[in-house]
A and B are shown apart, each in its own frame.
Chain A
């Protein structure tokens, strides 16, 4: 027996290396386990590499854009000044509407529904839109900054996804385009409810559980409904396209064009809970950003 084992030891080792991972996969495929301590240590090693490369390339591009590529700066400055003037007018109008809304809310006795959230800015340092695995981006903020799994991640014009896992200094964000991502939404116009599920392709998602009788038309804006307990209500998710209403069945089918182009993300906002964890040292607090500041996809 020992002789047999010795004779075929290479074959046995290869067979074990084949069978063991497959067994682990089948055991955990339907109920994924948490990452082990070893996994976290190894993943933490990748953070500095990604940060370093981002720093070098970002610095080089920043220097180019800031000092070298100034040829059209004057024309852009004039155009931007005009835009600022228009935006100032818009802002005045919005402030007026906001004050009016606040007065009406007070009159109607509306309570503030959403809990207070801290808005943290994060820079994208890694992109893993792997068709074989999950659609993830890596942020340069992690558990030390108070980011926890399931925290919503957005940019100024829409939903990006939610935090999947964290290390001390980085966080992996599961994008809304991932096939495991499902977000509860409403049609902004008719308030009809449905879910938006990713397809694995960054450029389109799928509408699920939209009742056939619900009022939906192509081009409708979809916003988060807040009923999934992850995203606060009212965040833009995408736009309805390719609506198909068959003569039978309970649901209508449609594609959703995400509001955010996930392939062009540079900075994002993490809507962290306002409650700081007990074990977290107070000096780990990060500089909160105001909503809409320094966040957005590259145009």
Chain B
């Protein structure tokens, strides 16, 4: 259920994001609101449903990005693993912690995507270094808005996750 929920929510969120960006700057800055979903999965989900969910979200990002398929899905699963390791190594608590991790994850994701594309794309269409600042701005904005995604994901999961009384989690 969790992977399907993540996939559908990512699809809705990227559509809403595209429609809202038309009015908020018209694309002068960008957002990647699907990435905090992957970070959330890295912190909350199990290995299997989290990885499958992250791949689903990555597939949505791949579709929306319009480029050759596969890269965003790969990076989404990689971000899931990084979030999982970060969640185990650090104490990520509360909205602020989630926002910082989402921002850092978005920055890593964007820079890795640029590096891969630069390595593969023909020289004349390789992304320039000037795009790095856009990626960093995107990371800051996404991190700042990620608590809203966290709240939405908790509410969505509340619809189908039923905690059993008397059991420690």
A interface residues (Cβ-Cβ under 8 A, vs B): 10-11, 13-14, 17-18, 21-30, 32-33, 35, 39, 42-43, 45-46, 49-50, 53-54, 57, 61, 124-138, 164-165, 172, 174, 179-180, 182, 197, 199-202, 208, 262-265
Chain B's closest residue to A24 (CB) is B70
Do most interface residues of chain B lie in helix, strand or loop, or is the interface mixed? helix
Question: B18 near A138 (CB under 8 angstroms)?
Answer: yes
Task: Chain A residues near B48: list those with CB within 8 A.
Answer: 10, 13-14
Task: Chain A residues near B26: list those with CB within 8 A.
Answer: 127, 262-265
Task: Chain A residues near B62: list those with CB within 8 A.
Answer: 21
Residue of B25, B58, B67 with most partner-chain A CB within 10 A: B67
Interface residues on B, range: 35 or more
Partner of A199, one of B21, B51, B77, B128: B128
Docked complex Cα distance between A17 and B58 (Å): 11
Question: A57 near B52 (CB under 8 angstroms)?
Answer: no
Task: Chain B residues near A28: list those with CB within 8 A.
Answer: 68-70
Question: B110 near A164 (CB under 8 angstroms)?
Answer: no
Residue of A28, A53, A126, A131 with most partner-chain B CB within 10 A: A131
Question: B66 near A197 (CB under 8 angstroms)?
Answer: no
Chain A's closest residue to B50 (CB) is A14
Task: Chain A residues near B21: list those with CB within 8 A.
Answer: 126-129
Task: Chain A residues near B113: list those with CB within 8 A.
Answer: 132-133
| Closest Cβ–Cβ distance, residue B135 to chain A (whole Å) | 5
Do most interface residues of chain A lie in helix, strand or loop, or is the interface mixed? mixed
Partner of B22, one of A10, A126, A174, A180: A126
Docked complex Cα distance between A200 and B138 (Å): 14
Docked complex Cα distance between A164 and B63 (Å): 13
Docked complex Cα distance between A126 and B122 (Å): 28
| Closest Cβ–Cβ distance, residue B115 to chain A (whole Å) | 11
Task: Chain B residues near A165: list those with CB within 8 A.
Answer: 66
- A-facing residues in B121-165 (Cβ within 8 Å): 121-122, 124-128, 130-131, 134-135, 138
- A-facing residues in B14-53 (Cβ within 8 Å): 14-16, 18-23, 25-28, 30, 32, 47-48, 51-52
Docked complex Cα distance between A185 and B64 (Å): 29
